[in-house]
Structure 1
């Protein structure tokens, strides 16, 4: 499974419905489960992003589908980043040095 960090910002619609954010979290988790995506971490934040979460997905296409599904509801906009752990980065460095 690959790791992805998703940076989310509330839209105007999402801010108006801020009281529902905990329920939207539950719906988000359920939608991820249906796609075969594991939610590793989820935090509401202060700063340039309203929410930051980490997911594990089998591939880029599935991670993108998850981002599109949640963004399509109109409450958030997503920026999805592929993340690499130390072992993966070691492999990348080995390939680059070859």
Structure 2
């Protein structure tokens, strides 16, 4: 399944409710399962982003739907990156080189 990195920043609401952040991550993982996606891990970070979520989804549409659901709750705003593992990158290189 494709992998996605979601760079997350807390909204004002999310900061006010910081004590529930671990529970919210668990809830997000459950919501992903309903979409046939999976939360691989989440890391709370120091720097320009408050957290980074690593997830798998069957396709871009599913990943986008999941992150729209997450953002709609109002605790975070996300920036999402599609990530390629080594095998996928080797396939891309093969396509590029003909």
Question: Residues 1-98 of structure 1: matches in 2 within 5 Å?
Answer: 1-98=1-98
TM-score, normalised to structure 2, is 0.96
Over the aligned positions, Cα root-mean-square deviation in angstroms equals 0.7
Measured in 2, the distance between the counterparts of 1:72 and 1:79 equals 14
Detail structure 1 runs of 4+ shifted over 6 Å in the superposition: none
Counting matched residue pairs gives 98
Deviation at 1:27, TM superposition (A): 1.1
Q: Which runs of 5+ in 2 are unaligned?
A: none
Q: Which runs of 5+ in 1 are unaligned?
A: none
Measured in 1, the distance between the counterparts of 2:42 and 2:75 equals 16
